[in-house]
Amino acid sequence: MKTPCKSLALSLLALPLLAVTCCAEKEDTYTISNTAGDFDHSHASFTGVLKKYVRGETFDYAALKKNPATLKSYLDTLANVPKAKYGKWTEDQQMAFLINLYNAATLELVIDHYPVKSIKKIGGLLGNPWKKEVVRLWGEKVTLDHVEHDLLRPNFKDPRIHFAVNCASIGCPALRPEAFQAAKLDAQLDEQGRNFLRNPSKNRVDTEEGTLYLSPIFDWFKEDFVKKSGNVVKFIYPYLKKSDQALLQKGGLKLKYTDYDWDLNDR
């Protein structure tokens, strides 16, 4: 993560987001059960899974693989939510639902193929785990990419999503040891941002080099951060330590994006 792969000046003129797309296979379908009753917006069962298996910056996939029943039951509950019911929820309820769905489906995908060195190994040499139709949603089987790029990003336009969705890799923001909940979603997302940007293995200011090192997440999804705050540095500023904020105010720092560590965030 510390090896810079790209640099640019802190004036940060917005560059267009480069996106690589490919066609997913035809979506499968499934039948929604009507036995779910009222939906639990506290996502308590998923919090139980996370509290049990999150280990700081890592996750105990081996242990979850041995006891997947609670996770799979939680995913069953999400799968049984009709789209019409989802549409009546508040934006925070919808957003929390989709973030938790993404993270829970990612955990299931990994344990179904565990042990594996990296999530990118799932699907074979030419496969793409984010384009596998493994997520059950509204009577269809969709991809993780669909949840993130077709639902979360365009519908909510909140770049903090990138601090919340977890790609099961060392380079991504740590998986939160509790489910996201509408009642405290704003505070949870802000805390995720602070934790990520104050983690020197992911983002840091090197005073000797005069360089601000940032995760490539801020490069890959630059468009989202620029739309929200004008440029990347303005967006991240509130989440930094006061000492780092002071260094940015002085100016003169170069910005470099680091390499991304795609190894599994295994314990």
> Of 244, 247, 216, which is closest to residue 232 (Cα–Cα)?
216
Residues of the chain with pLDDT under 70: 1-27, 34-37
> Is 136 a domain residue?
yes
The alpha carbon of 126 is separated from its chain's Cα centroid by a whole number of angstroms, namely: 23
| pLDDT given at position 79 | 98
> Of 202, 190, 205, which is closest to residue 159 (Cα–Cα)?
190
Element spanning 75, H or E: helix 69-79
| pLDDT given at position 14 | 36
* Maximal C-alpha separation, the chain: 61
> Is 199 a domain residue?
yes
> Is 29 a domain residue?
no
Element spanning 212, H or E: strand 211-214
How many angstroms separate the Cα of 255 from the Cα of each of 9, 197, 209, 216, 225?
Answer: 6, 14, 11, 11, 15
Q: Looking up tokens 């066609």, which residue turns up?
A: 23
CA-to-CA distance for 263 and 208, rounded, in angstroms?
A: 29
> Is 20 a domain residue?
no
Which pTM value belongs to this model?
0.88
> Of 23, 30, 19, 210, which is closest to residue 135 (Cα–Cα)?
30
Considering only CA atoms, give the Rg of the chain. 19
| pLDDT given at position 37 | 67
Backbone angles phi, psi at 136, to 5 degrees: -90, 120
Query: Tokens for 75?
Result: 């995913």
Q: How many domains does the chain have?
A: 1
> Of 136, 160, 132, which is closest to residue 145 (Cα–Cα)?
132
CA-to-CA distance for 12 and 234, rounded, in angstroms?
A: 10
Query: Tokens for 140?
Result: 């269809």
Q: Which domain holds residue 70?
A: 4-11+44-258
> Is 267 a domain residue?
no
Torsion angle, alpha carbons of 137, 160, 44, 86, to 10: -40
Query: Tokens for 113?
Result: 């193929």
For 54, the 3-state DSSP assignment is strand
For 266, the 3-state DSSP assignment is strand
- C-beta of residue 75 within 8 angstroms of C-beta of residue 104: yes
Query: Tokens for 233?
Result: 């540095």
Q: Looking up tokens 């379908």, which residue turns up?
A: 29
> Is 184 a domain residue?
yes
